[in-house]
Structure 1
Amino acid sequence: MLNRVVLVVVVVPVAVVLIALAVANRTPAAFTLDPFNPGNGALTVELPLFVLLFVSLAIGLVLGSVATWLRQGRYRREAREKRREVQNLLQQTRPPAGGEDAGTGVPATRG
């Protein structure tokens, strides 16, 4: 139910705005990587403006995701260490599988 609400409240309006933006900005715009010589044809590309906007949005999303992933590395490392610690503690509390009493190394007697 919550997924449907998010879809209707967030995704649909964003999609409508992006489609309107794409339709309104179909004319080619020059994008150059050489700010000192904008007429340099080797470093200039002409694309519709909405393509340039979508590409910049995608690059921003990727860079933001990478930055977030890198910043959260210490928390992932801490979670791995805690998981190992829990596994070690669980192994210490479980009785041995060989039928021996815990900690003595003597076979268990059946009576």
Structure 2
Amino acid sequence: MLNRVVLIIVVVPVAVALIALAVANRAPVAFTLDPFNPGNPALTTALPLFVLLFLALACGMIIGSLVTWLRQGRYRREARAKSKEVQNLLRQTSQSAPDAGAGVPATRA
């Protein structure tokens, strides 16, 4: 139910705005990679403005996701180390106590 509400409130208006942007900006514009010689045909292409905007949006999302993934690397590394430590401790306790519940003290509630 919450997914439908989010879809209706967020995704639908964004989609309508993007479609309106694409329809309003269909004229080709020159995109050049050489700011000092904008007339260089080897480094200039003509694309509709909405294509350039969508490409910029996609590149921004990819770069932002990559930076976030890289910054969270130490937490993933720490989680892997903790998981290995837990597995080792579980393996050690299962080997040292063949009766699974015998070595665990009872707790009071």
Q: SS of the residue aligned with 2:31? A: strand
CA RMSD of superposed structures (Å): 1.7
Q: Find the counterpart in structure 2 of residue 108 from structure 1.
A: none
TM-score by length of 1: 0.84
Q: Is residue 95–residue 101 contact of structure 1 (8 Å, CA) maintained in 2?
A: no
The structure, 1 or 2, with the larger RCO (C-alpha pairs under 8 Å, 6+ apart) is 2
Which structure: larger Rg? 1
Distance 2:86 2:5 in 1: 38
Over residues 42-66 of structure 1, what are the superposed CA-to-partner deviations in whole Å (9 max), with x where a residue is unaligned?
A: 1000000000000010011110010
Over residues 21-53 of structure 1, what are the superposed CA-to-partner deviations in whole Å (9 max), with x where a residue is unaligned?
A: 000000001100000000001100000000000
Q: In the TM superposition, what are the counterparts of 1:1-111 in structure 2 within 5 Å? A: 1-95=1-95
User: What fraction of aligned residue pairs are identical, expressed as a percent?
Assistant: 76
How many residue pairs align between the two structures?
Answer: 99
Structure 1: 5+ residue runs without aligned partners? 103-111
What stretches of structure 1 move > 3 A for 4+ residues in a row? Answer: none
